[in-house]
Chains A and B, each alone.
Chain A
Amino acid sequence: MARTLLRVPGTAQRGEVVEIRTLIQHPMETGFRPGADGTVQPRDIIRRFTCLYNNRPVFEADLHPAIAANPYLTFTFVARESGVLAFIWEGDNGFSQTETRALTVA
């Protein structure tokens, strides 16, 4: 499991625009870079990031090799009801990780 860093407010007012910051530990090997032995390292990146809010997608991102190592993404959404936020990263070599956070809407 890769380490993740999520900045999610635990509570929000109804209708408030909430900003989420996510970071996941990943080398994001571009597939263009030679390794120590001189051969080009095969690509190994996170291709897709999705944020689900009560199982409804609120943010989807397609990542390319130009995204820096340890992909960092910030985005916003409107807090409508209390529920669960799921953060899903998917990538090369079957990489898949899901983190969840609870959000309470007052």
Chain B
Amino acid sequence: MSSPSWSRCATERRTLLGGLLAVTLLRPASAAPEAMAQAIRGFTGGAVPQPGGINLEIPPLVENGNAVPVSIEVESPMTEAEHVRAIALFSERNPLPNVLTVKLGPWSGAARIGTRIRLATSQRLMAIAALSDGSFRLAEQQVVVTLAACIEG
């Protein structure tokens, strides 16, 4: 064996390792959070939601992911001039990122909704409120699920 071929081999290996490292470092943690980010961009139209002024209430430890009570409340006077237009809930690791989207208005009186949702696994949930002035508010909550939904028949 001649030495040039050995050195070329080593260089290629080094390139490959470097490439693998870059892929590992640059890749998002999983495809799902990217899907959630995309769904959120679809809801906000690219605007960056600001945290605060919205409360996402969900048990931090869920025994059964098939029906998890969730309530969302946004601080707003709900007047004609200043109200919540819509609230959306997003999930990070369910098969689909969208969970619920509701439309509200000054006639709602309060920006308070509740429902029961499914959670496929432990994950982060995000609630985003669209306000009448065009801004967006965000609340997030980490949830641990011991029995997942959607897996068993």
- Whether the Cβ atoms of B153 and A35 lie closer than 8 Å is yes
B19 within 8 Å of A (CB atoms):
no
- Whether the Cβ atoms of A32 and B95 lie closer than 8 Å is yes
B107 within 8 Å of A (CB atoms):
yes
Q: How far is the CA of A1 from the CA of B83 in the complex (A)?
A: 36
A54 to chain B, nearest CB (A): 11
A residues 49-94 near B (Cβ < 8 Å) are 53, 56-69, 71-78, 80
B residues 90-116 near A (Cβ < 8 Å) are 91, 94-96, 98-105, 107-110, 112-116
Is the interface on chain B under 10, 10 to 19, 20 to 34, or 35 or more residues? 20 to 34
Number of interface residues of A (CB under 8 A): 34
- Select which of A58, A66, A76 is within 8 A of B112 by beta carbon: A76
Chain B proximity mask over A13-24: 1 for CB below 8 Å, otherwise 0: 000011101000
B117 within 8 Å of A (CB atoms):
yes
Residues of A within 8 A of B115 (CB): 67-68, 71-74
- Whether the Cβ atoms of B96 and A60 lie closer than 8 Å is no
Residues of B within 8 A of A36 (CB): 153
Does more than half of chain A's interface fall in helix, strand or loop, or is it mixed? strand
- Select which of A17, A18, A35, A60 is within 8 A of B102 by beta carbon: A60
Q: How far is the CA of A30 from the CA of B108 in the complex (A)?
A: 30
Closest A residue to B151 using CB positions: A33
Residues of A within 8 A of B112 (CB): 19, 74-76
Residues of chain A touching chain B, judged by Cβ–Cβ distance below 8 Å, are 17-19, 21, 30, 32-36, 53, 56-69, 71-78, 80
14 more contacts with CB within 8 A, not counting A68-B115, A76-B112, are A17-B110, A33-B150, A58-B107, A60-B103, A62-B100, A66-B91, A68-B67, A68-B116, A71-B115, A74-B113, A74-B114, A75-B104, A76-B109, A78-B109
Residues of chain B touching chain A, judged by Cβ–Cβ distance below 8 Å, are 66-68, 71, 91, 94-96, 98-105, 107-110, 112-119, 149-150, 153
